Amino acid sequence: MTATATRTYRPGEFHDFEASGRRFVYLVPAGAVFELDGAAEQIVERLRTKEADHDELMAELVSEGYSYTDADELLGELYHSHLIVSGETVREPLANPPADFPLQSLVMNLTNQCNLSCTYCYEFGEDKVATPEGKPKFMDLETAKASVDFLLSQSGDRRAVHITFFGGETLMNFPLLKNVVAYASEKAAEAGREIDFSLTTNATLLTPAIIEFLSENRIGVTVSMDGPPDLHNKLRVFANGRGSYDIIEPRVRALIANHRTRPITARVTLTSGVTDVVRIYRHLKQDLGFHEVGFAPVTTSPDRLYSINEPGMRGVFEHFRSLADEWLEFALRGEMHGFSNVSDTIAELIQGVNKSHPCGAGLGLMGVGPSGDIAPCHRFVDSDVHALGNIATGIDREKQSEFLTRGHVNSKYDCHTCWARPLCAGGCHHEAFVRYGDTGHANLHYCDWIREWTDTCLRIYGAVSAQNPQFLEQFAERKAL
């Protein structure tokens, strides 16, 4: 008797969904989407009611008119794609990335100082993890150059690397930013590499000369901005409590009008009372002209006044869904939509990502603070507890390995049976630390939300692939996937 004949089949691990009247599955072990044809759907439904062995299924298919060869091929295909499985399925653990995983992006916190006092700030607010006492407030040129050298030396064979400038408020150290762009461009060219730059700013210090420099050097810009004045000014305030909208509005308009070489993005932090996502989107996209707008609920412990409670998150979801529907309408007309929360997930689905870790922190991405301390990402910069070495002495491989082992999806028990894990992998390490005091804790407070949102994006992906598949190709090309 062959091994095939003795198989007893049951459905594999997948999440199924409908889009445009068609049935799809998101196959978890592969992180891939497949459309089910009638025969595959029938077999899956059949196995949902009761397991069946190979001969039984063959007999059923043949009695329905399949030739023996076609039926055997069909079962073979479904088995090899893991849509149906047999025997004891030992979940293949996602491998640990190699210890010398090449660096791709370095986030340089040019300063830990800021001219705003946003109530929810993860750097200065009540949930801060940074311990900047006794450390430099501004990065100096020597540390900055050493950081660039570090990036180039730690990036292995990568052809292209990336620097993101960050703060505090990044533009409070604009002279250094200019020097770094010149130095890094020269060093990358000498090494035969490509390098590109981006920065995040609160926009208060933008001037025509800075905008010209950013545009000339193709530096991508993300502006932290929370919407129209009544919403933005709630928490994005100066030290005296005055809202910052009026200061930044003309500067943002000038940035969007005059920076012509890269898309300009707005990044919105949602907080209690700042949850009208659709109105915020309309203002930032249509009134101000941002190319893309991305939203994230504030990272905070749940007892802060500005944290969003469960009904609030439900409201956020409804708004997300409304913009997601609009994203789909645009895609079916072949047009790009600026709601980046959908775009980012669609990009991951196109690439078939299957994450061992929720993000690149501590892996292909690292942060470096004004002191030269290396951190898993910008949010951990200046935190002694989370430092992974120093630019002068190199990466502390032991600490890095510990951080990555804790953060690996295999270490998060609750994620083992979750169908959303190829995309979520347990969620942000920083948020996990703020909520649970452990960077490797799964972000369990968001699971239902994450799964519902992932399902929404899968349906969009399915509908576009059914009705306008060329758009996915155009999208991939535009996003350089």
Please give the Cα distance from 416 to 421 (Å, whole number): 8
Q: Which of 341, 443, 456, 465 binds ligand SF4 (CB under 6 A)?
A: 443
Whichever of 228 and 426 has its CB closer to ligand SF4, that residue is 426
Whichever of 12 and 376 has its CB closer to ligand SF4, that residue is 376
> Minimum Å distance from CB 350 to ligand SF4?
20
Which residue type sits at 127? D
Q: Which of 427, 441, 457, 471 binds ligand SF4 (CB under 6 A)?
A: 427
| Contact map string, positions 344 to 363, toward ligand SF4, x by CB under 6 A | --------------xx-x--
Alpha-helix residue ranges (DSSP H) falling in 286-426:
310-332, 340-351, 397-407, 421-424
> Minimum Å distance from CB 420 to ligand SF4?
5
User: 89 Cβ partners below 8 Å, 6+ apart?
Assistant: 12, 13
Written as six digits, the tokens of 91 are 């979940």
Dihedral Cα 255, 256, 261, 266, nearest 10 deg: 100
> Minimum Å distance from CB 416 to ligand SF4?
8
User: 254 Cβ partners below 8 Å, 6+ apart?
Assistant: 206, 208, 211
> Minimum Å distance from CB 122 to ligand SF4?
8
Q: Which of 415, 458, 460, 463 binds ligand SF4 (CB under 6 A)?
A: 415
φ, ψ dihedrals at 75, nearest 5°: -65, -40
Q: Which of 414, 473, 478, 481 binds ligand SF4 (CB under 6 A)?
A: 414
Whichever of 346 and 377 has its CB closer to ligand SF4, that residue is 377
What's the angle, vertex CA 124, arms to CA 121 and CA 125, rounded to 5?
A: 60
Q: Is there binding between residue 447 and ligand SF4 (CB under 6 A)? A: yes
Q: Which of 129, 274, 418, 458 binds ligand SF4 (CB under 6 A)?
A: 418
Q: Is there binding between residue 476 and ligand SF4 (CB under 6 A)? A: no
Q: Which of 71, 395, 424, 457 binds ligand SF4 (CB under 6 A)?
A: 424
Give the H or E element holding residue 33. strand 32-35
User: If DSSP states are collapsed to H, E and C, what string results for 137-163?
Assistant: CECCHHHHHHHHHHHHHCCCCCCEEEE
Region 108-147 residues binding ligand SF4, contact defined as CB under 6 A:
none
Are 77 and 57 spatial neighbours (Cβ–Cβ below 8 Å)?
no
Q: Is there binding between residue 422 and ligand SF4 (CB under 6 A)? A: no
Whichever of 248 and 442 has its CB closer to ligand SF4, that residue is 442
Whichever of 252 and 368 has its CB closer to ligand SF4, that residue is 368
- Residue 367's beta-bridge partner residues? 107, 375
- Pairing state between β 22-27 and 32-35: antiparallel
Query: Which residues here bind ligand SF4, judged by CB under 6 A?
Result: 358-359, 361, 377, 379, 412, 414-415, 418, 420-421, 424, 426-430, 442-444, 447, 450-451
